[in-house]
């Protein structure tokens, strides 16, 4: 298994007048190979949660285990953890700093101590996986478009071949086409390599379409933790905490209320399409 979070709490500005509890006795298990979505309103604790998974933040209380080891043990190698748990932040320019895209992608594998040949091969493979054309390899990363920067940042992380890939709002600011391309790419890599993927997103449609499990955060607590269909069944409770279900969920419920014999469990456009075709067929 990848992670166990045992009674984890985190407080910002602890023991000051500005103390805020961001995580409150969180218990979670994340298994190898899962594709997980993390959702929640602003201030729910979702970003704080994922920053604990590669040691960027240290829990105020509780313990986190990665592959059976306590990451807070005195002799635990946090550098190795960060090589195994890669994170792509919401704003890719925060992760891009080298003269060229190719050098930037080489940075992680090089820090892993790999031979130069392996570093080069890893960088080429990663850039091909994210679909960035070769003509951009020797370009400054700051000359790329928003979507291209996102791809370069993801390539820099996957070049290290992490066991866990965490993406914090990887499609923020992209148009619908760019968003779909990035998420399709991530889903394809997950299917090919079987690594654990944790996706933080504000888009209910995205998590419904791509993930197998949703963790809903609310004021530092885990509100729901289940398959998308089961989580969105509680759409009225989600609304109470500032979230919503995918639009098709509301459509199917409205059709049901009007006496149409359709399933209200559809959470994606394809599922809704099948339900409606069965109705009229």
pLDDT digits (tens, 9 = 90+) for 184-207: 999 999 999 999 999 999 889 999
- Compute the distance between CA of residue 38 and CA of residue 225 in angstroms, rounded to an integer: 9
Q: What is the pLDDT of residues 16-35, one digit of tens each?
A: 999 999 999 999 999 999 99
pLDDT at 93 over 80: no
- Tell me whether residue 132 is in a domain: yes
Secondary structure (3-state) at 256: helix
Q: What are phi and psi for residue 269, nearest 5 degrees?
A: -60, -40
Average pLDDT over residues 107-112: 93
Residue 123 lies in a domain: yes
Q: Is a pLDDT exceeding 90 seen at residue 92?
A: no
Q: What pLDDT shows up at residue 1? A: 63
How many other C-beta atoms are found inside a 10 Å radius of the C-beta of residue 253?
Answer: 16
Q: Are 130 and 167 in contact (CB under 8 A)?
A: no
Residue with tokens 């449609």: 205
Give SS3 for 7: strand
The residue segments making up the domain with residue 29 are 3-227
Q: How many domains does the chain have?
A: 1
How many CB atoms within 10 Å of residue 242?
12
What CATH number is given to the structural domain containing 17? 3.40.50.300
Cα–Cα dist 272/262, whole Å: 9
Q: E strand or H helix at 190, and its extent?
A: helix 176-193
Higher pLDDT pick, 226 / 171: 226
| Residue 172 counted as domain residue | yes
| Separation between Cα atoms, residue 130 and residue 46, nearest integer Å | 25
Owner of token pair 């933080």: 200
User: What tens digit of pLDDT does each residue of 201-234 get?
Assistant: 988 999 999 999 999 999 999 999 999 999 998 9
Helix (H) or strand (E) run with residue 40 in it: strand 35-40
In a domain, 247, yes or no: no
Q: Looking at the domain assignment, is residue 255 inside a domain?
A: no
pLDDT in tens, 147-165: 899 899 999 999 999 999 9
From CA 54, how far away is CA 79, in angstroms rounded? 9
Closest by CA position to 67, among listed 27, 31, 117, 116 = 31
Residue 249, domain member (yes or no)? no
Distance CA 106, CA 120 (A): 7
Distances (CA, A) of 1 to 13, 141, 191: 32, 35, 18
First to last CA, the chain: 45
Give a yes or no: residue 257 inside a domain: no
241-280 pLDDT per residue, tens: 999 889 988 998 899 898 888 888 888 888 888 888 888 8
Note whether residue 262 is domain-resident.
no
């Amino acid at each position: 298994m990848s992670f166990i979070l045992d009674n984890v709490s985190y407080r910002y500005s602890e023991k000051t007048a500005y103390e805020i509890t961001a995580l409150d006795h969180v218990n979670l298990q994340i298994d190898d190979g899962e594709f997980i979505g993390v959702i929640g309103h602003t201030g729910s604790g979702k970003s704080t949660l994922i920053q604990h998974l590669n040691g960027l933040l240290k829990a105020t209380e509780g313990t986190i285990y990665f592959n059976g080891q306590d990451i807070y043990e005195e002799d635990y190698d946090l550098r190795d953890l960060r090589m195994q748990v890669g994170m792509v932040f919401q704003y890719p320019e925060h992760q891009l700093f080298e003269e060229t895209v190719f050098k930037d992608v080489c940075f992680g594998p090089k820090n892993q101590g790999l031979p130069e040949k392996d570093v080069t091969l890893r960088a080429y493979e990663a850039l091909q996986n994210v679909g960035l054309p070769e003509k951009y390899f020797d370009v400054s990363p700051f000359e790329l478009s928003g979507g291209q920067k996102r791809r370069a940042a993801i390539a820099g992380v996957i070049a290290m071949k992490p066991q866990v890939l965490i993406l914090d709002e990887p499609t923020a600011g992209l148009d619908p086409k760019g968003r779909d391309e990035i998420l399709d790419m991530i889903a394809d890599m997950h299917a090919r390599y079987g690594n654990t993927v944790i996706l933080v997103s504000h888009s209910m449609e995205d998590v419904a379409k791509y993930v197998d499990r949703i963790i809903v955060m609310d004021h530092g607590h885990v509100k729901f933790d289940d398959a998308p269909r089961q989580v969105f069944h509680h759409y009225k409770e989600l609304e109470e905490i500032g979230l919503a279900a995918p639009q098709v969920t509301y459509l199917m419920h409205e059709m049901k209320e009007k006496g149409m014999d359709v399933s209200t469990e559809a959470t994606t456009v394809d599922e809704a399409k099948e339900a409606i075709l069965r109705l009229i067929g």
